[in-house]
Structure 1
Amino acid sequence: MVLIKELKNETEWKAAFVVMKQLRSHLDEVNYLQLVQEAIQKEGYKLVALYDNEKMVAVTGFMPMITLYNGRSIWVCDLVTDSDSRSKGYGEALLNYVQKWSKENGYDIVSLSSGLQRVDAHRFYENKMEYDKVSYVFLKRV
């Protein structure tokens, strides 16, 4: 049985680290927990997990944003499926959850960025999920 639920406390966030670490390998558990807590408190970040037969197999993190170019929108910060559970529709199910949440809460755009090297993910977003490639994201460390 598949279940999708929002993770609301440190114990649940900690359980998600095993999966999230596969996407955010630069984070250790302490920094991850601090960032999740701060993002939830200050940015409205939501951390959501997909369970298959009570085993967490995928997670997503997203947050509402208001910008002049998109208006009220949702930004998908993180989307990852456990490496042993890929290509089973879990990423699609989580992204559909985010899109439904977005629509139900008055946000009519869902957007995300994806690393240039993640060609398979790009195919998934464009072909399977029907996302449009509309920009490049630039980053400078200061």
Structure 2
Amino acid sequence: MSFQFKLVVSSEIQNIIPLIQKLTNNKFSDQLLLERFTEMTTQNYECAAVFDGDIMIGVTGLWFSTRHYAGKTVEIDHVYIEEAYRNKGLGKQFLSWIYNYAKTKGCLTAELNTYVQNYPSHKLYYNEGFEILGYHFLKTL
């Protein structure tokens, strides 16, 4: 299989919502997601997608920042690949594309969060050389 990896331009950010809905189990309305993603694109956020022909089959967010402990970094945010395409090496290919893209933007490191119960992702990230540095906490205000 030959896949295309490319950035989703901000004017087409609404195209990722069906995949994000699957990722979040429809926890948020389409309108709320569109509002949030539209705002995110103004805050050092980019979105990358995987295509099989014209069909978007995977998506991730990319946050770019400089951190005191890591230098310029890309935070890989909410990777989702359609179930029919999983366990075929596509995640590894997608991450490789992301690393190369991040290097063109001057990034020295890549980081991410993953849900505690998402065991398949843990295996992928360990195999990619990621190390656990801490916990991610969230408080609703």
Q: Same fold (TM over 0.5)?
A: yes
Do structure 1's residue 81 and structure 2's residue 81 form an aligned pair? Answer: yes
Give the distance between the partners of 1:8 and 1:93, measured in 2 at CA: 21
Give SS of 1:75's match: strand
Deviations 1:104-142 (A, max 9, x none): 111101000001111111011102x22112221122222
Give the distance between the partners of 1:84 and 1:63, measured in 2 at CA: 27
- In structure 1, the residue matched to 2:45 is 45
Unaligned runs of 5+ in 2: none
Task: Check whether the contact 1:65–1:74 (CA below 8 A) recurs between aligned residues.
Answer: yes
Q: How does 1:29-44 map to 2 (within 5 A)?
A: 29-41=30-42, 43-44=43-44
Q: Kindly state the Cα deviation for residue 95 of structure 1 after the two structures are TM-superposed.
A: 1.4
Deviations 1:27-60 (A, max 9, x none): 221111111111111x221111111122211111
Q: Kindly state the Cα deviation for residue 14 of structure 1 after the two structures are TM-superposed.
A: 2.3
- In structure 1, the residue matched to 2:136 is 137
Give SS of 2:77's match: strand
Task: Check whether the contact 2:70–2:108 (CA below 8 A) recurs between aligned residues.
Answer: no
- In structure 1, the residue matched to 2:8 is 7
Unaligned runs of 5+ in 1: none
Q: How does 1:97-116 map to 2 (within 5 A)?
A: 97-116=97-116
Give SS of 1:110's match: strand
Alignment root-mean-square deviation, CA: 1.5
- Aligned pairs, how many? 139
Letter in 2 for 1:87: N
Give the distance between the partners of 1:123 and 1:59, measured in 2 at CA: 19
Q: Kindly state the Cα deviation for residue 90 of structure 1 after the two structures are TM-superposed.
A: 2.3
Q: After the TM superposition, which parts of structure 1 deviate over 4 Å for at least 4 consecutive aligned residues?
A: none
Give SS of 1:66's match: strand
